[in-house]
A and B are shown apart, each in its own frame.
Chain A
Amino acid sequence: MLAWGSLSKTDVIGAIIVVALLATAPFVGSRYIIGIMTVALCYAIWATSWDFMSGLTGRENFGHALFIGTGAYTAGFLNVSFGLSPWWGFPAAAIVAVLFSLLIGFPTLRLRGPYFALAMLSAAVVMQKLSIIFSETTGGQDGLNGLSPMLRSQVSAYYFTLGALVVTVTILKLIALSPWGTILRAIRGDEATCQAAGINVNFYKICALMISAAFAGFGGALYANYQLQVGPDLFDVALSINIIIMVYVGGMGSIYGPVGGALLLIGLTEGLRSFSEYRLWVYTLVLILILFFIPSGVIAPAWVRLRDWIRRSGATFARRANA
């Protein structure tokens, strides 16, 4: 299933450089910056898992927060209500998120475009409302508080999150490059033809949604471990939309682009702090400019160009060296 051979050498080297740069952050930034970057890495996991399902199959999921929230609440319950070690939260979060993806996936996967988007959005909102109504168990508006952190030191937690991101992107990218990924992309192009060719389209779509949900739920548990609190805002429409924006800016369907999109946009919101109350206004303005002038995204297309340039100049260099 995994296609190690299909990774290009330039891509791998590029990825290693980025990870190395991210790994130096604790030596440069304050404790606060590390915290912000941990959150950014969680967003990167959410964005890349969104891209795996929606970017590849072309079914825009407007309720990714459903999986994030269920994952985070699972981790919260296990830790706060049952007193289990935070480490149990990770596998449990992924499993519960997958269960939810099956529950919502079967009835909705035949839907397309706005219908699928809205079905997912409503599912997330229903969960949000339920978490408020059943406040006896969920803590209502305030959510669950006082999770114990998995790692005492914030720097170790940061490296753990970074490691989780690397694993996530590697696995998702390898699946995307494998024949599986090809089928998912084919479904995006023309579902009817795929079906005619004897491909069980629904099976592939359900699997894609399950994988996407598993990583989103896992990311939710990671976030809960940083925040040490989970609340209904983790089911929010705004969170789902934020993730889509990150993927869009990063470049849809590339898996690694959304990571860049998440880091870029969180970096932007932080960098704009000096604008104080104008901050979010400037942010939306930048967003409109990007959507208008670079509608295919920023990160992935930029990397494709850079890679081509490296290869071309590498080839020229080799030719010159040979001559």
Chain B
Amino acid sequence: MLKRIAPFIAGSALIASALAMPARAEDKPILLGINTALQLQVGRDTIDGVRMAVEEINAKGGVIGRKLEVVTADEGESPKEGVAAVNKLTGDNNVNVLIGGYDSGVTLAELPHISRAQTIFLGTGSASPSIQQKVKDDYANYKYLFRVNPINSAKQAASLLDFIKGKLKGELGYSKISILGENAKWVQDMVPFLKKNATEAGLEVPLAEFFDPQTADFSPIFAKVKDSGSQYLLIILSHAASDVFVKQWYDAKVPVAIGGIDVKSQDADFFKRVGGKALSEVTTNFVLRKPITEKSIPWWDAFVQKYNRAPVYTATGAYDAVYIYAEAVARAKTTDADAVIKELEKTDFLSARGRVKFDALHEVQDGPGNVNVIYVQWQNDGERAVVWPKEVATGKMIDPPWMMKN
């Protein structure tokens, strides 16, 4: 009998103690709303990155005497779901801050709704420069937007160019590269820039093509690239079927090495997911278990210990976002959006990726010491090595196994 009613007693005791707590506004928890694609690894890691930071901060007593609490909403990968998610968090849960975003198209669709809700949004996944451009165009309405992660795609393009000139041409001596990108806005901005500048730098670009993200058969493109005599295929994909792409590349033993921006390939388990067929593919990334800053390895190990898997790039961004917000609130001594924005603009936070500072567009800055793009190659047995920039490189770049010169 007692066993059966015990939970009820415990329950009512809890409720009673909750009621007895003074319900002053200052003691109410600070609500963090996470809008992301829950069914994807980038989404799960966004949430886990946030949770990890929240637990650490709460263990130290929270911020300005208040605990942090997390609510999530699924933005799927569609603008419709994304807008609904943002409206749910701001209109229903009344969160103090939004953290998340993954798909640039979805984030762009959410912007007017975020602005209308006058809620701070710390972006941790989308790369389109048009997002932060709003801050410049209409500061009063869009000052709420900050991008903690990643480096925007325009800056990524500059970094890719550096990779082409420095690594592909400079170190490996390639003279002919092809470019292949998926048909998304941010890629279309990037490809003409790369083609023009690579040509000016003395490289030949025989082929620069786009494809529909639903493409299921890449054989024609591989045949064209091979026939063009290219030595390297630069790829830019985020939503396309990267796994199909590398599998078909590997299976056909296409005699051209591949690398560039491949967002799915940034996942720690990507190599396993494609049965090892990503071997020798190079992709951009932002964090790895390498000494990028003094925090990188401890942070990485703490994450792995806690969740039993290696993090992807959104995890570190989300983790940093919580700390950056918490520090800004602590300095402002309030959660009032306008006051917190003033403090956020002064952010200088050392993270596992580098130092986080915002520019006039509330955009995370790159450059020496700051957050930077690193080029990571899948090597034997799914090991990853940083191959560029030279200062942080941890390994030598390898060729696809069928192209190895003995």
Please name all residues of chain A whose beta carbon is closer than 8 Å to the beta carbon of B188 when the two chains form the complex.
135-136, 140
| Contact call B92/A231, Cβ cutoff below 8 A | no
Q: Which residues of B contact A36 (CB under 8 A)?
A: 84, 87
Taking a contact as CB atoms closer than 8 A, the residue among A32, A139, A233, A277 that contacts B78 in the complex is: A233
CA distance A7 to B392 in the complex (A): 77
- From residue 14 to 55 of chain B, which have CB atoms closer than 8 A to chain A? 38-39
Interface presence of B217 (CB below 8 A):
no
A137-149: contact bitstring with B at CB < 8 Å (1 yes, 0 no)? 0011111011101
**Which residues does chain A contribute within 8 Å of B130, judged by CB atoms?**
145
Tally of A-B Cβ pairs under 8 angstroms: 84
Nearest CB of A to B287, in Å: 26
> For the complex, is B344 an interface residue (Cβ under 8 Å from A)?
no
Interchain CB contact under 8 A, A31 and B87 = yes
Pairwise interchain contact A142-B183, C-beta atoms closer than 8 A: no
Question: With A132-B212, A233-B80 in contact, do A145 and B87 touch (Cβ < 8 Å)?
Answer: no
Task: Please pick, from A30, A133, A140, A141, the residue contacting B92 in the complex, using a CB distance under 8 A.
Answer: A30
B residues within 8 A CB of A135? 183-185, 188
What is the CB-to-nearest-CB distance from A246 to chain B, in angstroms, rounded to a whole number?
Answer: 15
B213 proximal to A (CB < 8 A):
yes
Number of residues in A with C-beta < 8 Å to the partner?
Answer: 28
Would you call A129 an interface residue if the criterion is a C-beta within 8 Å of the partner chain's C-beta atoms?
Answer: yes
Q: Residue on A with the closest CB to B239?
A: A141
State A135–B181 Cα separation when bound (angstroms).
13
Query: In the bound complex, how far is the Cα of B92 from the Cα of A149, in angstroms?
Result: 21
B257 within 8 A of A: no
- Contact between A228 and B185 (Cβ–Cβ < 8 Å)? no
A147–B183 CA distance with the chains assembled, in angstroms: 23
Q: Name the distance in Å between A91's Cβ and chain B's nearest Cβ.
A: 23
A293 vs chain B, min Cβ distance (A) = 30
Asked if A227 meets B87 with Cβ closer than 8 Å, knowing A133-B183, A135-B185, the reply is no
Q: Please name all residues of chain B whose beta carbon is closer than 8 Å to the beta carbon of A35 when the two chains form the complex.
A: 83-84, 87, 91
B112 within 8 A of A: yes
**Interface of B toward A, CB cutoff 8 Å:** 38-39, 78-80, 83-84, 87-88, 90-92, 104-105, 108-109, 111-113, 128, 130, 134, 183-185, 188, 212-213, 239
Chain A contacts to B: CB under 8 angstroms: 30-36, 39, 129, 132-133, 135-136, 139-143, 145-147, 149, 227-229, 231, 233, 277
Give the 6 A-B CB pairs with smallest separation, nearest first: A31-B91, A32-B91, A142-B105, A229-B109, A32-B92, A228-B112
